[in-house]
Homo-oligomer: A and B are copies of this chain.
């Protein structure tokens, strides 16, 4: 089976050599820009790895893998407008570098471009591939809508949160795994197991992301610590803390998550203190581990020799142990 590094190298090369120099340049330059500023390109890399689990011919998975990456970047582009973010991967966002209208329209073009790439697969699996892609794409939109809804709500339960991150983040990882498997010729049940593997790994990954925001090592974590707290973001930690906090802790927490009228460093200190007293870090670690184990149980059931699965299993482990 192909390694993560090898698969990523193929994807990087393919993205670098993508010809997106059509006219009008005003439409396609931002597409080229957002694809070129990198990121880990985990999703397309996983498509290739999942494909190689079932077939040695990974080249036929390249175009559909790029479709997933183009779609993912389209959602980032539009999310950045909605969130009013100035930076993406330490570079100016498209609406900052150009303007909002350009960002809207280039994003629209990327959404369509992703369909151009996804349909570059064998006609016998085309209907199922498009169905998977379309369902997942709609779910990503639904997840983004729930995330926006949560901003103004303080009554979110852990289950609501898991549902939101499943839609917003996990289904595209799940779809990447399943898509690769389908192109590799996996059986329907193996393809479904790969979906479960990706979905649960994605949830574990997102909770780990929430943890790193507060408990990451500032030297290793690429971003500043506590940014989610400053942004009043509804993370697993905040939602769990609101669920278990009582008395004075609950009062302080509810007041702090609705205000920006406090020194940021102080806000981080107070909220982290509450997390520590309530044991939120451990609860989040247990929850993340729970989904990680669930993902591995699904992966174990895939009917491929265990030694063939090493690269993907290592990747999953690294994802859980990552510090940035």
Which segment of A22-30, A249-257, A263-271 sits at the interface? A22-30
Indicate whether A119 reaches chain B with its CB closer than 8 angstroms.
yes
Indicate whether A134 reaches chain B with its CB closer than 8 angstroms.
yes
| Chain B residues, CB < 8 A from A116 | 134, 138
Indicate whether A227 reaches chain B with its CB closer than 8 angstroms.
no
Copies held by the complex: 2
- Near B by CB (< 8 A), chain A positions 236-251 give none
A119 touches B142 (CB 8 A): no
A112 touches B141 (CB 8 A): yes
Query: 1/0 per residue A99-138: CB within 8 Å of B?
Result: 0010011011101110110010001001100110010011
CB distance from A286 to the nearest CB of B (A): 29
A127 touches B123 (CB 8 A): yes
Chain A contact surface mostly? helix
Indicate whether A82 reaches chain B with its CB closer than 8 angstroms.
yes
Assembled-state Cα–Cα distance A230/B81 (Å): 30
B130 touches A105 (CB 8 A): no
Indicate whether A315 reaches chain B with its CB closer than 8 angstroms.
no
Instruction: Given A123-B126, A130-B119, A131-B119, check contact A145 B24 (CB 8 Å).
Output: yes
CB distance from A117 to the nearest CB of B (A): 10
Which of B111, B119, B149 has a CB less than 8 Å from the CB of A111?
B111
Indicate whether A215 reaches chain B with its CB closer than 8 angstroms.
no
Indicate whether A86 reaches chain B with its CB closer than 8 angstroms.
no
| Chain B residues, CB < 8 A from A191 | none
Task: Using CB atoms, name the residue of chain B closest to A164.
Answer: B24
Which of B105, B123, B145, B149 has a CB less than 8 Å from the CB of A78?
B105
Which of B101, B113, B148 has a CB less than 8 Å from the CB of A138?
B113
B142 touches A27 (CB 8 A): yes
Residues of A within 8 A of B (CB): 22-24, 26-27, 75, 78, 81-82, 101, 104-105, 107-109, 111-113, 115-116, 119, 123, 126-127, 130-131, 134, 137-138, 141-142, 144-146, 148-149
- Taking A24-B146, A81-B104 as known contacts, 6 extra A-B pairs with beta carbons closer than 8 A to each other, sorted by chain A number, are A24-B142, A26-B145, A78-B104, A81-B101, A111-B111, A123-B126
Q: Which 6 A-B pairs have the closest CB atoms?
A: A27-B145, A82-B101, A109-B141, A112-B137, A24-B145, A116-B134
